[in-house]
Amino acid sequence: MTVKRIDIYKDGGTFIVETDVGNFYIDHRIGNPINPSKGFVFNGYPERETGSIVATTTAQELKIALSISTDRWASWALKSITHDL
């Protein structure tokens, strides 16, 4: 997996990570103090019909790809994956 681009939504912190195998979303939204999906990786925007939590192996692959990415958002996106994998 290779990271192509990382962007952040203006909802308070949802990251979109575009890779060579698809797009992934990291839920890091603020505003709701009790956000049960914060720190999870989704295959679509969190809390929409298309967004569901990805398998642990996929999240781990994304963490590896982010750790070697040179994108300016990579380290912040990596730190946002806080769900225990």
Predicted model pTM: 0.82
Q: Is residue 27 part of a domain?
A: yes
pLDDT digits (tens, 9 = 90+) for 62-77: 999 999 999 988 998 9
Q: Is residue 85 part of a domain?
A: no
Name the residue among 21, 33, 27 with its Cα closest to residue 9.
Answer: 27
Task: For the chain, give the mean pLDDT.
Answer: 85
Phi, psi at 14, each rounded to 5°: -80, 125
Q: Is residue 7 part of a domain?
A: yes
Residue in the block written with tokens 């939504």: 9
Domain count, the chain: 1
Q: Is the pLDDT of residue 85 over 70?
A: no
Q: CB of 41 within 8 A of CB of 26?
A: yes
Whole-angstrom Cα Rg for the chain: 12
Residue 30: domain span:
3-80
Token readout for 60 is 């781990």
Q: Is residue 36 part of a domain?
A: yes
Q: Is the pLDDT of residue 60 over 80?
A: yes
Q: Is residue 38 part of a domain?
A: yes
Q: What burial class does residue 46 get, using C-beta atoms within 10 Å of its C-beta: 0-12 exposed, 13-18 middle, 19+ buried?
A: buried
